[in-house]
Structure 1
Amino acid sequence: MNLESKYFYVLGIAVLAFLLAGCEPKEPTDLSDHSLIPHPAEITATGGRFQLNPSVTVRMADLSLHRVADYLIDRMASLKVVESGAADIALSLDANDEQLGAEGYQLKITESQILISANHPQGVFYGVQTLLQMIPLRQYESVELPTGVIRDYPRYAYRGSMLDVSRHFFGVEDVKRYIDFITTYKMNVLHLHLSDDQGWRIEIKSKPELTAIGAATEVGGGDGGFYTQQQYKEIVKYAANRFITIIPEIDIPGHTQAALASYAALNCDGKAGDLYTGTKVGFSTLCTDNEATYEFVDAVIQELATITPGKYIHIGGDESHATKKEDYIYFINRVQKIVSKYGKTLIGWDEVAQANIETESIVQQWNSAGNATLAAEKGNRIILSPATLAYMDMKYDTTSRIGYDWAALIEVDQAYSWDPDTINAMVPVELIFGIEAPLWTETVENMEDIEYLVFPRLPGYAEIGWSAQSIRNWETYRIRLAGHAPRFESEGIDYYRSPLVDWGMMDSIN
């Protein structure tokens, strides 16, 4: 072999070695390694990679997916919609899978495309939430995703949280931020506690004194506030675009001092009460044998029903200690008919089970297992919000800077490690409508306070409501929860760094 031949031979070997080195397979990827909350029903990893690039495209196969696509575009700023042909992300309603129901989805990631399919737009939206959890924040244009298939569907139909805006008032933008929190974790209900002793927070045009007087203050004596009906509609629309139902609560016949201070006729002595800025409960009641009370309730429910597209209105009914039992039962029976008259379904705290409530009414267990059992015997569906496990206004431990401890100290593991199906052995599983995690706000004054008590407990409540009990486990959950710390921090969430979670073990959401 002459010198020139040797040169090209050596050069060829070097080039071949370089090319072979560049073609060496990368380490296999595993879709199941991602810190997804709630945990999906089924994950099948295929070991490949999909590369998101700066010119990501999305195609929706049905116009009913428009708001889902709009949401995705809002989250992924560089995303472009294509009307036909291939797209990086394809959204479709061709799942044809009965097991997925109305809210389930299939997320399929291949090396060339991401396909999210479902039976209904809500399912596609939840598939989008799973996809977004897989992409590190602010890295939507350049990230590798593992290939595989996720099939997922919820355990319960009702997965909610409650925000008390009566004890302390929170404006529209704060409520929208709260909606964003629950959206991320596939919750589908926001229950707004709109009236209490300390403040009336929704405009009722036929009863203007409710906001002129009753909304003036809050716990501690600070300035109160209220939502105009237009602002309330704005909140409802914002939630609806995220497939969340707003359930308004007007708490009656107790927890009503703000109303009693606004209208003298609601008091049995015909004299207006004083505004209240303390935190005691159980001392107030509407006058249940006065027809003016039912005219008032009718007017309030009528206006509230008109501006609430969802099918539920919550009437409270808890801690009405100042109302005689027979008067309480009479009141609930009459109010139930008013709610039905305006085409809505009644929800009430568990005390309402003592009345002759109709089968379609829903009882929310917060305190009394006996009341929930009574409701189940009548065939009523049950929402589970046991105060000892699900109240997010409870302190984590004795060192928590805000919160109460009258029900329990609820650390992150306790918040997560309970099974709704077994919490009350006398309630059949088929009557459990779902769960709700309430946040009462006596000690909560601002958004930072909300975030501190809600995070990191809220994702766990969402998983209880969504994921099958058989795939839930605290030891694996706490690892996935740690993976969400960078997201909390990127979103500016002032979360409680529970010592039960190793927050430093993961640098990012995978």
Structure 2
Amino acid sequence: MKISKILSSTLLIFSFGLGIISCSEKAVPLSENHIIPKPLSVTDAGGSFALTGETKLIAVGNAADINPVIAIFQTMIKPSTGFDLQTAESGESNVIVFELESASQKSPGEYTITINETSIKISASNGEGLFNGVQTLRQLMPASLEGTALTVDKIQIAAGQIQDKPEYGYRGFMLDVARHFFSVEDVKHVIDLVAKYKINYLHLHLSDDQGWRIEIKSWPLLTQIGGKTEVGGGEGGFYTQEQYKDIVAYAQSKYITVVPEIDMPGHTNSALAAYGQLNPGITVPEKGAVPFDRTELGVDGMATPLYTGIEVGFSTLDTDKDITYQFVDDVIRELVEMTPGPYIHIGGDESLVTELEDYIPFMEKAQAIVTKYGKKSLGWDEIAHAKLETGTVAQFWAKAENAVLAINQGNQVLVSPATKTYLDMQYDSTTQLGLHWAAYIELDDAYNWDPTELDSAVKRENILGVESPLWSETITNREEIEFMMFPRFAAIAEVAWTKKELRNWESFSERLKKHTARWDAMGLNYYKSPRLVWEEKK
């Protein structure tokens, strides 16, 4: 009995001691936190704010715009702390205020965080700005917040102010779901990851030679046949229109706009395998061709075999047929009906067997169709050989001279140089995943560049933003996506968000080494780059 009482008392003292340790941890000064992307300015002040389960959340401004962000914050906090934070109409102490400034001069995405001993205030001009502020605030809290273990009963956050705004309005990530198909849940997982780093556009590469991934009701064989396989001969797959709408809505809930891509006139074998009338008579490379019995599907004899290889440039739509433009019109019309964002990506790259005199009028007609349905066109940089419609954006991936062609027509460019931003490139010659046709891209290569330094004719005002693509020739599952994205994606996200003058490798690498504790808590499968000097974690 005495032993039992002694043990009981010891456990109480031990538990109380842990509580004291937990509650008395000193707040890390704001300027010493490991925030990625790096904010515009950070100012330290004395004291700290103690976030507890009793902290109240207050909306100031349009509640319809603020409440979704508050809900995100509540959901973020609860799993690791158990704090069930409640809203309140008002309060002066132990409160977090989410404020929309109606007369604010803040740009979209811009925010300010002001912290003192009694309150935290996040202010912005729109919901996206508040959301970005929440992503920074989460990085002022312990890394264990990213996990699910109950680790603290109080979180100390140092006083001061963070003022922040994005360098570029378009900060994108592209996921290729055509070469290998990824489930709705995998896409949502990617959305969760990129949202943490203030990405606001998700570009989905929905069609290619190896697979057609979006249901088009007016052309049902696109998915019935074109969605049947993938690189290497897997079963492929596609998104129903309801599933696509679900992805779009989920992205919107994280202030991310979906940009769907239908690549054309090249990279189109999955469409040609479904509808032979679109085929001008191309020959599919023997390596990767997969013939199958279509006798019961009513497919005409011009249909090509399915294709599971990775060679590019062999396919093209027939640019002389009226049926081709009916096809393009129907596909874009159905995409527009499901896509609230401003852009439809119409591809245009590596159409090597399409003669230039056929390519140019085709891309002009495709743009006109997009414009007819009230959207703007995005296209890979080759699109600039055509006359660009007002608002069409050329995605600079390969040739600076193409970007300059777009700029000379008065259009902007989206910067995605393959040698810096292509996350499917191997880190080095020992990396098992990925390719290296563009470059080996180590962590410092992904960080040490600037969009304004790629070509003297590409000025800051010509650049809409930055996007990092992940092509999936060798990528087959969620863990492989994570490995190829991180840590390079964090580097490119900082290039897209942070002013050139504020970025330097030494600062980023030191912040990132400590920031990876968050990835450990998340269970993220990231690459431990030898460009960082790793400290053994206890």
Is the TM-score greater than 0.5? yes
Quote the offset at 1:47 in angstroms.
2.9
Amino acid of the residue matched to residue 232 of structure 1?
Answer: Y
Quote the offset at 1:27 in angstroms.
7.2
Q: Distance in 2 between matches of 1:366 and 1:462?
A: 17
Amino acid of the residue matched to residue 31 of structure 2?
Answer: S
1:186 equivalent in structure 2: 198
2:53 equivalent in structure 1: 54
Tell whether 2:504 aligns with 1:492: no
Quote the offset at 1:144 in angstroms.
1.0
Q: What is the aligned counterpart of 2:271 among 250, 254, 259?
A: 259
Partners of 1:107 and 1:114 within 8 A in 2? yes
Residues 29 and 488 of structure 1: CA distance in aligned 2, closer, same or farther (over 3 Å): closer
| Identical residues among aligned pairs (%) | 48
4+ residue runs over 4 A deviation: 25-29
Q: Secondary structure at the match of 1:223?
A: coil
Q: Distance in 2 between matches of 1:358 and 1:337?
A: 8
Q: Distance in 2 between matches of 1:411 and 1:313?
A: 31
1:450 equivalent in structure 2: 481
Tell whether 2:377 aligns with 1:365: no
1:19 equivalent in structure 2: none
Q: Secondary structure at the match of 2:134?
A: helix
Tell whether 2:419 aligns with 1:388: yes
Partners of 1:35 and 1:480 within 8 A in 2? yes
Q: Secondary structure at the match of 1:173?
A: helix
Residues 89 and 281 of structure 1: CA distance in aligned 2, closer, same or farther (over 3 Å): same
2:68 equivalent in structure 1: 67
Tell whether 2:386 aligns with 1:355: yes
Amino acid of the residue matched to residue 48 of structure 1?
Answer: G
TM-score, normalised relative to structure 1: 0.92
Q: Distance in 1 between matches of 2:168 and 2:90?
A: 37
Q: Distance in 2 between matches of 1:90 and 1:429?
A: 35
1:81 equivalent in structure 2: 86
Quote the offset at 1:432 in angstroms.
0.4
Segments of structure 2 that go 5 or more residues without pairing to the other structure are 1-23, 146-150, 282-300
Q: Secondary structure at the match of 1:437?
A: strand
2:363 equivalent in structure 1: 332
Q: Distance in 2 between matches of 1:502 and 1:246?
A: 37
Superimposed CA distance per residue, residues 246-289 of structure 1 (whole angstroms, 9 cap, x where no aligned partner)? 00000000000000000011012461011000000000000000
Matches within 5 A, 1:9-408: 29-61=28-60, 62-63=62-63, 64-77=65-78, 78-86=83-91, 88-94=95-101, 96-98=103-105, 100-136=106-142, 137-138=144-145, 139=151, 141-269=153-281, 271-408=302-439
Quote the offset at 1:28 in angstroms.
8.1
Greater alpha carbon shift after TM alignment, 184-193 vs 89-98: 89-98
Quote the offset at 1:350 in angstroms.
0.2
Q: Distance in 1 between matches of 2:46 and 2:442?
A: 37
Amino acid of the residue matched to residue 89 of structure 1?
Answer: I
Q: Distance in 1 between matches of 2:344 and 2:26?
A: 53
Greater alpha carbon shift after TM alignment, 66-75 vs 205-214: 66-75
Quote the offset at 1:146 in angstroms.
0.8
Residues 28 and 171 of structure 1: CA distance in aligned 2, closer, same or farther (over 3 Å): closer
Q: Secondary structure at the match of 2:158?
A: strand
TM-score, normalised relative to structure 2: 0.87
Partners of 2:202 and 2:257 within 8 A in 1? yes
Q: Distance in 1 between matches of 2:388 and 2:346?
A: 12
Partners of 1:416 and 1:460 within 8 A in 2? yes
Quote the offset at 1:76 in angstroms.
1.3
Q: Secondary structure at the match of 1:409?
A: coil
Quote the offset at 1:95 in angstroms.
7.6
Q: Distance in 2 between matches of 1:368 and 1:47?
A: 51
Amino acid of the residue matched to residue 146 of structure 1?
Answer: A
Greater alpha carbon shift after TM alignment, 33-42 vs 52-61: 52-61
Q: Secondary structure at the match of 1:177?
A: helix
Quote the offset at 1:492 in angstroms.
1.6
Partners of 1:39 and 1:467 within 8 A in 2? yes
Partners of 1:58 and 1:79 within 8 A in 2? no
Quote the offset at 1:401 in angstroms.
1.5
Q: Distance in 1 between matches of 2:476 and 2:261?
A: 20
Partners of 1:28 and 1:47 within 8 A in 2? no
Partners of 1:44 and 1:149 within 8 A in 2? yes
Q: Distance in 2 between matches of 1:26 and 1:314?
A: 50
Partners of 1:96 and 1:118 within 8 A in 2? no
What is the root-mean-square deviation in Å for CA atoms of aligned residues? 1.6
Q: Distance in 2 between matches of 1:92 and 1:295?
A: 48
Amino acid of the residue matched to residue 473 of structure 1?
Answer: N
Q: Secondary structure at the match of 1:251?
A: strand
1:409 equivalent in structure 2: 440
Residues 150 and 118 of structure 1: CA distance in aligned 2, closer, same or farther (over 3 Å): same
Q: Secondary structure at the match of 2:139?
A: helix
Quote the offset at 1:56 in angstroms.
2.8
Q: Distance in 2 between matches of 1:140 and 1:163?
A: 36
Q: Secondary structure at the match of 2:426?
A: coil
Superimposed CA distance per residue, residues 291-330 of structure 1 (whole angstroms, 9 cap, x where no aligned partner)? 1100101000000000000010000000000101110001
Q: Distance in 2 between matches of 1:469 and 1:433?
A: 15
Residues 372 and 445 of structure 1: CA distance in aligned 2, closer, same or farther (over 3 Å): same
Greater alpha carbon shift after TM alignment, 266-275 vs 351-360: 266-275
Greater alpha carbon shift after TM alignment, 359-368 vs 45-54: 45-54
Q: Secondary structure at the match of 2:413?
A: strand
Q: Distance in 2 between matches of 1:374 and 1:192?
A: 25
